[in-house]
Structure formats: structure tokens, C-alpha cells
Structure 1
Amino acid sequence: MPPANAPLRHSRFEDAQALVAAALVGSLGLGLLKEAGLITGGTVGLAFLAHYASGVSLGSLFFAINVPFMAFAWFRVGHAFAVKTLCAIALLSLATDLLPRVLSFGGIDPLYAAVMGGVLAGIAMIILFRHQASLGGLNIVVHWLQERFGWRAGYVQLAIDAAIIGTSLALLPLERILVSLLGAAALNLTLAINHRPGRYMAV
């Protein structure tokens, strides 16, 4: 019998539900940002930059950029984490590219898109973190740093995001970048407030 204070483990069904839910929530957040012509940080931000520059689908680029990070996840974080993260990346990539077929935006305010897109992306990341997975790429490193050293995922991600968004000056107007920073802040505050080490024990 496990100790009374042992963390409750998620079932495979619960993990699968979480991966699908995170993909649906995350794809909606990315869809809002894309519709408003905004950007965000992390590997998603790199995918946005490549998408705006090349026209290649956002989901395909997001998946391709994440591939090199899978080795880090496999050897540094764990096999189960790597497999679940790879599934999450594939599902989010697919959901993002399929979103325009099931949902269209007649018009959207950039400020609303930034805040809501950031919050939804943050919620998707929290869902995955609580099931020992992530959205891949730099999020894998951020998650590992929090688990290993107790560094707040939201604050680490915020610093990375600011650097990536800063590089978008070559492609986007300053106004869009400033609005995008609001979205990055919304995402990372969602993480910092709602995903703290020791508060959530289920794995």
C-alpha cells in the first residue's frame, strides 16, 4: 500500500484525455494569435516567425522545430515524458492546421486576441505539465528546470519569450510586437500563478 502522502497517478485514459484537451485549447489560442497577426515566444514563436516568412503551415513548422528537442526529453527528462510530449506536439500541430476548416473569424481585436490567446496557451501548457508532458521545444527545458531546480516555469519562459519576440522586429510592425508582448505576459502569468512546484501532486 502506497504511503498516505504519495502522489496520485493519472490513468492512461486520463493522460490521453489531457493530451487531446490541451491540443484543442492550445490550437484555439494559436488560432487567435495567428488571425491577429501576432507572435509569441518559445518554439511556437519560432514557428510563427517561420510561418510569416515562408507561408508554410504553422502546425507543420511547429512539429518540425520540435523534433531536435525530443532527444533532450528522452535522455534528460524520461521516456514516458518524451512519448507523451511527442503525442501532444503532433496533436497540437494537427489541430492548429485543421482549425481554419472548422472555425473562421470575421474580425478580432488584437488586444483581445493577445490576452485570450496567451491565456488559452497557458492553460494548455498547465494541463500537459500536470500530466508530465509539455508542448515541446523550449517548454521541455523549462519544465525540466522547474522539476530539477524549482525554478518557476512562468518566469523562465517569460525571459525566453521576450528574447524571441524581440527578434520578430525584422518581420512584424512594432505595434504588433508590443501587443504580442501583452499576450506573452498573459501566458506566463497564467503559468506562474497556477503552476507552482508542490501544489499539484498527481502525476
Structure 2
Amino acid sequence: MPETTNKKMKPFIRILTLALGSLICAVGINGYLRPLGLLSGGATGIAIIMNHLTSFNIGLIVFAINIPLFVLAAFKLKREFVIYSMINMTMFSTLLGVTGEVYKYIGVDDIMLSAIVGGVLNGIGMGITFRGRGSQGGMDIIAALIRKKWDISLGNALMGANLVIIGWGGTIFGIKSFLYTIIVLFISYNFLDKVQTTFETKKSVMIISEHPKEIGDALMANMNRAITYLNGEGGYSHLEKQIIYTIINPREVSKLKKIVNDHDPKAFISVFETNEVRGYRFKERFI
């Protein structure tokens, strides 16, 4: 019964996650970027320009731009991703529309401060949205298609896809806005990648010990992790050695060190960060 309840709650929790990401993005855009002529890139960047030229509601513009992109996504991307992205895009468009005046309460006149704060909020919001396995539509759809084909980071894909849009924005708002928008995008997509990979980062570990079998058996028994024995040779002694290689979660590092220390206090341990792992017992990124 608890497992069934948990499965039923997952879509609800996921939609709440997407809503949180969209709200943070909307506040960043309407509170700090749009009032000073700064863009966020993608469909929202186009919407900011169109809103400036026509005064149409920015949320409605975003919704209209996304319709053909979602038609494309329906044929190229996973159905689940497209459905949740459509739900999120609707929420995002609505939140952009209703928070249009939020700059009156939280906005600042300093363009650099606005670029930094707006970029951070926009990046965190997008990161949370992708963590919720959805998108805001627009260039997020294009970036997902690019990443699916070439396996590059979402931040880099989005940055490349937005060059034309921020160039157009520069002709409308001026060179100063163009240069500050580059800062906004750089900050946003760095934070996007940080949030996107924070909970996916793993630790690769190599252990050199005089007791490899004992340590290896203990790691498999107590941590439920697969290990691999690599053949090595001591550079000074020229003695053959077995090197233990495994991948663990960051929170498991201290437990691994204790297990190794219990069997061989003199063991050599090397721990380094691994940004993506695919295969046995590790889930592949959704996009």
C-alpha cells in the first residue's frame, strides 16, 4: 500500500517541482531582467522583445511561440518529457503573466546587480525544471534535441541556440543591454548545469592495498556496490598489484574510507569527481 501511494504521489510532486522552477524563473525575469531591457534567451527572450514592441502580455506571447516547438517535440522527444513540458510551459506562461509587475516590489536600478540576481534566479529555476524532468518549452526543446543528438551539456546547448536572439535584442535595446545579457546567460546556464548535475555527481574511487580481496568483498557486502579489479605494477617495487575501482555516491565516501581502513590502514585511496555515470545500478539522465 505505501508503495502504491508513493507512485500516485510522484506526478503531483513532479508538477510541484516544475511549478517551483517556473515561479523562480518568472520572478527573475519580471523582477530583474525585463524592466532593464535584459533578456533571458529562448522563447522568453523573444517574448521580452515583443512585449517591449507591442505591450502584449508576455505570458501569452510565450505560449504562442511554443505551439510549433511542441509539435516538433512530439515527434522527436520522449512522450513523458513532452507532456510534462507542456504542463510546465502552461504554468510558466501563466506565472509570467501574473508576475509582470513584481519588479515594483523587488527590482533594483543597478543593471549589473539585476543581471547577476536575474541570471542566478533564472538558472536555478531552469535547473529545478530540468530536475523535475520537464522544460519551459522554447529553446529548452531545441536544447533537448541537441543534447539527445550530440550529448553536450544543456547549458552549452542553450547558450549556442540563443546567440541570434540576444543579437536581435541588442538591436532593440542597445549594445549595453546586449553585453549585459551575455552576462545573464553565462550566469544562468552555469547555474542550470550546477543544479542539473548536483544530485547526479558521483565519486570514482581507486584503492591500492595489500589486501584487495578482503576490501573488495567488504565493499560489495556492506555498500552493495559493484567493483572491478585492475591489474597494476608498483613503480618502485615492480610487484604486481590489484587495484580496486568502484563508483559511489558522495555521501558514501566516509563509509568507504572506514571499510578500507578497517582492513588496511595503509591503503592508498584516490577519490575523484565523476559528472555522469551510465550502466549497472545507475540511472541514465532523462535528457
**TM-score normalized by the length of structure 1:** 0.85
**1:165 Cα shift?**
0.6
User: Using the alignment, how far apart are the partners of 1:128 and 1:172 within structure 2?
Assistant: 29
Higher share in strand: 2
Between stretches 102-111 and 167-176, larger displacement belongs to 102-111
User: Using the alignment, how far apart are the partners of 1:157 and 1:174 within structure 2?
Assistant: 21
SS at match of 1:66: helix
Whether contact under 8 Å (2:45, 2:166) holds in the other structure is yes
User: Using the alignment, how far apart are the partners of 1:195 and 1:147 within structure 2?
Assistant: 16
Q: Which residue of 1 aligns with 2:191?
A: 190
User: Using the alignment, how far apart are the partners of 1:103 and 1:172 within structure 2?
Assistant: 18
* CA distances 1:25-65 after superposition (whole Å, capped 9, x unpaired): 11101112112221131111111111111111111111111
Change in CA separation of 1:191 and 1:103 when aligned onto 2, cut-off 3 Å:
closer
**1:148 Cα shift?**
4.4
Q: Which residue of 2 aligns with 1:4?
A: none
Q: Which residue of 2 aligns with 1:51?
A: 51
Between stretches 176-185 and 140-149, larger displacement belongs to 140-149
Percent identity among equivalent residues? 23
Residues 1:66 and 2:66 are matched in the alignment = yes
Structure 2: 5+ residue runs without aligned partners?
Answer: 1-8, 198-274
User: Using the alignment, how far apart are the partners of 2:117 and 2:134 within structure 1?
Assistant: 22
Q: Which residue of 1 aligns with 2:147?
A: 146
**1:124 Cα shift?**
1.6
User: Using the alignment, how far apart are the partners of 2:129 and 2:38 within structure 1?
Assistant: 24
* CA distances 1:52-111 after superposition (whole Å, capped 9, x unpaired): 111111111111111111112222112221111111111111111111466623643211
Residues 1:26 and 2:104 are matched in the alignment = no
Q: Which residue of 1 aligns with 2:86?
A: 86
Find the structure with the greater CA-based Rg: 2
Structure 1: 5+ residue runs without aligned partners?
Answer: 1-9
Q: Which residue of 1 aligns with 2:179?
A: 178
Matches within 5 A, 1:80-119: 80-100=80-100, 104-105=104-105, 107-119=108-120
Q: Which residue of 2 aligns with 1:169?
A: 170
User: Using the alignment, how far apart are the partners of 1:191 and 1:58 within structure 2?
Assistant: 23
Structure having greater relative contact order (Cα 8 Å, sep ≥ 6): 1
* CA distances 1:90-140 after superposition (whole Å, capped 9, x unpaired): 111111111146662364321121111122111121112122211102211
User: Using the alignment, how far apart are the partners of 2:191 and 2:148 within structure 1?
Assistant: 18
Change in CA separation of 1:102 and 1:45 when aligned onto 2, cut-off 3 Å:
closer
User: Using the alignment, how far apart are the partners of 2:187 and 2:161 within structure 1?
Assistant: 14
Q: Which residue of 1 aligns with 2:261?
A: none
User: Using the alignment, how far apart are the partners of 2:175 and 2:143 within structure 1?
Assistant: 27
Whether contact under 8 Å (1:126, 1:191) holds in the other structure is yes
User: Using the alignment, how far apart are the partners of 1:35 and 1:176 within structure 2?
Assistant: 11
How many equivalent residue pairs? 195
**TM-score normalized by the length of structure 2:** 0.62
AA aligned to 2:121 is: L
When the two chains are superposed, the root-mean-square deviation of aligned CA atoms in Å is: 2.4
Whether contact under 8 Å (1:86, 1:136) holds in the other structure is yes
Between stretches 139-148 and 90-99, larger displacement belongs to 139-148
User: Using the alignment, how far apart are the partners of 2:102 and 2:54 within structure 1?
Assistant: 24
AA aligned to 1:27 is: A
Change in CA separation of 1:184 and 1:14 when aligned onto 2, cut-off 3 Å:
same
User: Using the alignment, how far apart are the partners of 1:164 and 1:108 within structure 2?
Assistant: 24
User: Using the alignment, how far apart are the partners of 1:152 and 1:140 within structure 2?
Assistant: 14
Q: Which residue of 1 aligns with 2:132?
A: 131
AA aligned to 1:170 is: T
Whether contact under 8 Å (2:22, 2:126) holds in the other structure is no
SS at match of 1:136: coil
